[in-house]
C-alpha cells in the first residue's frame, strides 16, 4: 500500500513511488525504406482507446502544415517531393500531435545542369570552371564530363572541371553525366566559345610568280581570330605611315619603286597581331624577279 505524504498544499508524493506510463500517437511508414515510384503508406496509431471516439479520423501534417484528413495516408506513387517530416493528430484534438516521423525518399539523379564561372565572355588564357549540379538521394557518387568533338568525346571526371589557362582549342559543347546507386542522368549541353586575338597572321600575293613592272598585284592578309578581325592595316618596311587598310591591298601599274617588304596588322577587340614581312621584287623589262 502506498502511503501519501503531503509536502506542500495541494501536492502529494507517494512512498515508495508511482510509475505512470503513457502511450502516445505514433506515425509508422511502410515500407521502412522508400524508393521513388513505390506505394507508401503512413499509418497513425495509438494503444489508447478514445472513449468519446473509438474510430477516430486523423489529421495529417507535413512539415507542420495540414496536408490530409484520413485514417491512413497513401502516397502512390511516392515522389521526391513527398519527402519531409510527418505527424498526425486525432480530429478534434489537433493540439496533441504525434512525434514527427521523417519520410526519406531515395531517387536517381534529376535536374542535372552545367554552369560556367565566371559568367560572361571567355577569353583565351583565363581561368574557367565548369560545375555539374544534380538533385539526387543518395547524393551523386560519380561525375563524368564529355566534350563533343566531331564524332567522338573526351572524358573528364569530377564535379568540377577547371581550365587554368583556357585555349581556343577548348571551344566546344560540354555536358556531364552523373550517377548514384539509383540511376544515372545527363545534363543538356553548354557551349563554350573561347574568344582570342588574331593568330597565324600571314600575307599572300596574287598573281603568284614573277612581278613585272606595269602589272597589277594584290596582297591579301589572313588571320585566325574570334571574334573575326575587324581591322586590317598594311605597312611597308622603312615607311613610317601605313600604306592602306582592308583585308586586301592592290597595287596597280606597279613600278620598281614599289619593291620592298610588306606586312599587315590584324586586330579585333581582344588583341592585334602582325604578319611576317613578304618581299616584293618588281622586275623591269629585262630583269628577272626574285621572290
Residues facing 263 on adjacent strands? 235
How many other CB atoms are there within 10 angstroms of residue 29's CB atom? 18
Instruction: Give the CATH number, domain containing residue 257.
Output: 2.60.40.10
Per-residue pLDDT of 9-63, as tens digits, reads 545 455 555 443 334 789 999 999 999 999 999 999 877 766 666 678 899 999 9
Per-residue pLDDT of 78-112, as tens digits, reads 999 999 999 999 888 888 889 999 999 999 999 99
Residues 30 and 47 grouped into a single domain: yes
Residues 184 and 162 grouped into a single domain: yes
Find the domain containing 82 and state its range.
3-103
Q: Are 169 and 122 in contact (CB under 8 A)?
A: no
291 in any annotated domain: no
Q: How confident is the model at residue 1 (pLDDT cuts 50, 70, 90)?
A: very low
81 in any annotated domain: yes
Residue with cell 575587324: 230
How many other CB atoms are there within 10 angstroms of residue 115's CB atom? 13
Per-residue pLDDT of 154-164, as tens digits, reads 777 889 999 99
Residues 161 and 87 grouped into a single domain: no
176 in any annotated domain: yes
Tell me the percentage of the chain whose pLDDT exceeds 70: 87
113 in any annotated domain: yes
254 in any annotated domain: yes
170 in any annotated domain: yes
Q: Are 126 and 170 in contact (CB under 8 A)?
A: no
Residues 149 and 81 grouped into a single domain: no
Residues facing 30 on adjacent strands? 41
DSSP states along 100-114: PEEE-EEEEEEEEEE
Domain end marker among 54, 87, 103: 103
Residues 201 and 187 grouped into a single domain: no
Amino acid at each position: 500500500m502506498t502511503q501519501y505524504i503531503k509536502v506542500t498544499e495541494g501536492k502529494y508524493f507517494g512512498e515508495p513511488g508511482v510509475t505512470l506510463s503513457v502511450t502516445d500517437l505514433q506515425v509508422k511508414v511502410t515500407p521502412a525504406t522508400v524508393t521513388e515510384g513505390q506505394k507508401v503508406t503512413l499509418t497513425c496509431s495509438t494503444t489508447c482507446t478514445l472513449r468519446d471516439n473509438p474510430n477516430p479520423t486523423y489529421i495529417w501534417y507535413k512539415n507542420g502544415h495540414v496536408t490530409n484528413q484520413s485514417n491512413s495516408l497513401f502516397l502512390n506513387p511516392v515522389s521526391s517531393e513527398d519527402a519531409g517530416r510527418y505527424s498526425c493528430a486525432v480530429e478534434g484534438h489537433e493540439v496533441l500531435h504525434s512525434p514527427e516521423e521523417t519520410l526519406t525518399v531515395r531517387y536517381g539523379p534529376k535536374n542535372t545542369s552545367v554552369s560556367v564561372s565566371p559568367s560572361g565572355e571567355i577569353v583565351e588564357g583565363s581561368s574557367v570552371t565548369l560545375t555539374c549540379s544534380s538533385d539526387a538521394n543518395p547524393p551523386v557518387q560519380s561525375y563524368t564530363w564529355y566534350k563533343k568533338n566531331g564524332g567522338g568525346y573526351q572524358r573528364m571526371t569530377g564535379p568540377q572541371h577547371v581550365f587554368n589557362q583556357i585555349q581556343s582549342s577548348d571551344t566546344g559543347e560540354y555536358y556531364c553525366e552523373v550517377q548514384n546507386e539509383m540511376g544515372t542522368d545527363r545534363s543538356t549541353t553548354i557551349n563554350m566559345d573561347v574568344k582570342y586575338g588574331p593568330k597565324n597572321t600571314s600575307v599572300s600575293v596574287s598573281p603568284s610568280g614573277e612581278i613585272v613592272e606595269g602589272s597589277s598585284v594584290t596582297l591579301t592578309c589572313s588571320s585566325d581570330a574570334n571574334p573575326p578581325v575587324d581591322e586590317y592595316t598594311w605597312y611597308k618596311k622603312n615607311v613610317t605611315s601605313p600604306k592602306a587598310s582592308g583585308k586586301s591591298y592592290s597595287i596597280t601599274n606597279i613600278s620598281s619603286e614599289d619593291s620592298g617588304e610588306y606586312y599587315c596588322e590584324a586586330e579585333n577587340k581582344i588583341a592585334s597581331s602582325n604578319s611576317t614581312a613578304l618581299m616584293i621584287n618588281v622586275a623591269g623589262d629585262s630583269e628577272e624577279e626574285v621572290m
